[in-house]
Amino acid sequence: MRYSYGIVDEKKVLAYQPQLFRSMDDLLIFPSRDFTRWHSGIVEIIDGIYQINAKHLDKNKFFDTTDFDLLFGLAVNIDLELKNLFDLEDYADFSHHYISTMDPQYKKRKNNFYGRYMHKIDRNMGEITPRMKYIHMMEIVDYAHRLWAGESRATLLNIKKRK
Amino acid sequence: MRVSQGEPSGRKIHLYHPELLNEHEEVVIYTRNEFRRTFGLISEQVDYITKLNMSFHQEDNDWKIQGYWPVVMERVHILGLGVNSFFENNSSQAYLDAHICDETTISEDHPVKSVVKGINEYGEVNW
């Protein structure tokens, strides 16, 4: 995304990199201190989500509904931040500024592909009974018989269809 | 947050609401179109997570979360990319979204040809 810093000078803005914008562009101008504060707030929330996800690195632990509710709560917070961006009466809280120091290995995409192949993995398997084993064996025998008979008409006529 | 629209004219940018910004204050400038795309990208991912969470509460299936968690984390990953792109000069990931512009045309059922009744196509008046 193209962006440039600038400074307010006599009720106009002097951009540091005015070459990025065309003359017909519609521009949005934020105070940089407020905007970086807002940005750091969202980064903090996303880091929180990755902290919940860090549980997944230990394969013996599984997620439950509370984890999902926590993630949902953080998503609601992001939504609130997005709504407050264009609220004129909402003043930024400068008491703290979050700088992400999280190890990037926690932010890597890790996929076990269960989500994609869920319906294949969860497919139900029937029990294998002796009767099924017998039918399977006889199918193989039938196939072998057909191969052995080849294309000779006499032997083909002798094959009975079992079912 | 205080925010103003603006219009570039040469090196300077004219503000729509100059009273909101203080004198000699440092500002960040974005193009409105790109900002809207990235903002929309982030809010879309949040909406997805919200809808998924609501569907879980209706069915109350704990075991399904194991499968849906990677899907949700993929959304969070896209969300993170969107947030990071605020301070990167690279082109935004949101540009990959297909967007079909709906250009509705004005219906021509009742075209207004002339206000005065009785004027035909050639502009002659039938008395």
pLDDT tens-digit series, residues A72-111: 999 999 999 999 898 888 877 888 888 888 888 888 887 6
Query: Which residues of chain B lie closer than 8 angstroms to A45, CB-CB?
Result: none
Please give the average per-residue pLDDT across B40-50, as a whole number.
89
Average pLDDT for chain B: 77
Residue A42: inside a domain: yes
For residue B22, count CB atoms less than 10 angstroms from its CB and return exposed for 0-12, middle for 13-18, buried for 19 or more.
Answer: exposed
Note the pLDDT of residue A43: 94
Range of the structural domain that residue B38 is part of: 31-96
Tell me how many residue pairs between chain A and chain B have CB atoms under 8 A apart: 226
Residue B58: inside a domain: yes
Query: Which residues of chain A lie closer than 8 angstroms to B86, CB-CB?
Result: 1, 3, 39
Residue B114: inside a domain: no
Note the pLDDT of residue A79: 93
Residues A69 and A47 in one domain: yes
Task: Find the closest chain B residue to A16 by CA distance.
Answer: B11
Residue A54: inside a domain: yes
Residues A45 and A107 in one domain: yes
Residues A90 and A136 in one domain: no
Residue A93: inside a domain: yes
Residues A108 and A59 in one domain: yes
Residue to test with chain B: of A10, A11, A12, A13, most B Cβ within 10 A: A13
Residue A24: inside a domain: no
Instruction: Please name the amino acid found at residue A34.
Output: D
* Residue A5, helix vs strand vs coil: strand
| CA pair distance B66, A103, nearest whole angstrom | 24
Residue A2: inside a domain: no
Note the pLDDT of residue A78: 94
Contacts of A114 (CB under 8 A, 6+ apart): A121, B66, B67, B70
Q: Does A52 touch chain B (CB under 8 A)?
A: no
Residues A106 and A140 in one domain: no
| CA pair distance B46, A79, nearest whole angstrom | 7
Say yes or no for a CB contact (<8 Å) between B28 and A4.
Answer: yes
Q: Which residue has the tokens 């962006």?
A: A3
Among A1-5, A120-124, B118-122, the range scoring the smallest mean pLDDT is B118-122
Asked if pLDDT for residue B100 goes beyond 80, the answer is no
Check if the beta carbon of residue A5 is closer than 8 Å to that of residue B29.
yes
Q: Which of A11, A18, A29 sits opposite B11 (nearest CB)?
A: A18
- B12: its two tokens: 């300077």
Say yes or no for a CB contact (<8 Å) between B5 and A27.
Answer: yes
Check if the beta carbon of residue A101 is closer than 8 Å to that of residue A44.
no
* Residue B54, helix vs strand vs coil: helix
Note the pLDDT of residue A155: 64
Say yes or no for a CB contact (<8 Å) between A23 and B86.
Answer: no
Residue A134: inside a domain: yes
Query: Which residues of chain B lie closer than 8 angstroms to A123, CB-CB?
Result: none
Average pLDDT for chain A: 85
Provide the percentage of residues in chain B whose pLDDT is more than 90.
Answer: 14
Phi and psi torsions of B5, nearest 5°: -85, 165
Residues A98 and A79 in one domain: yes
| CA pair distance A141, A143, nearest whole angstrom | 5
**What is the secondary structure of A6-29 as a DSSP string?**
EEEETTEEEES-GGGS-TT--EEE
Task: Find the closest chain B residue to A34 by CA distance.
Answer: B1
Query: Which residues of chain B lie closer than 8 angstroms to A56, CB-CB?
Result: 69
Residues A112 and A150 in one domain: no
Residues A59 and A75 in one domain: yes
Number of domains in chain A: 2
CA distances from A16 to A5, A26, B11 (A): 6, 17, 9
Number of domains in chain B: 1
Residue A133: inside a domain: yes
Query: Which residues of chain A lie closer than 8 angstroms to B48, CB-CB?
Result: none
Say yes or no for a CB contact (<8 Å) between B2 and A30.
Answer: yes
Other CB atoms within 10 A of residue A8 CB: 21
Check if the beta carbon of residue B49 is closer than 8 Å to that of residue B80.
no
Q: Does A98 touch chain B (CB under 8 A)?
A: no
Task: Find the closest chain B residue to A41 by CA distance.
Answer: B83
Contacts of A8 (CB under 8 A, 6+ apart): A14, B18, B21, B22, B23, B24, B25, B27
**What is the secondary structure of B12-53 as a DSSP string?**
EEEES-GGGSPTT-EEEEEEHHHHHHHHHHHHHHHHHHHHHH
Please give the average per-residue pLDDT across A7-24, as a whole number.
88
Residue A6: inside a domain: no
Q: Where are the alpha helices (DSSP H) in A17-117?
A: 32-53, 65-84
Range of the structural domain that residue A134 is part of: 124-163
Asked if pLDDT for residue A64 goes beyond 70, the answer is yes
Residues A38 and A105 in one domain: yes
Residues A57 and A105 in one domain: yes
Q: Which of A7, A30, A114 sits opposite B1 (nearest CB)?
A: A30
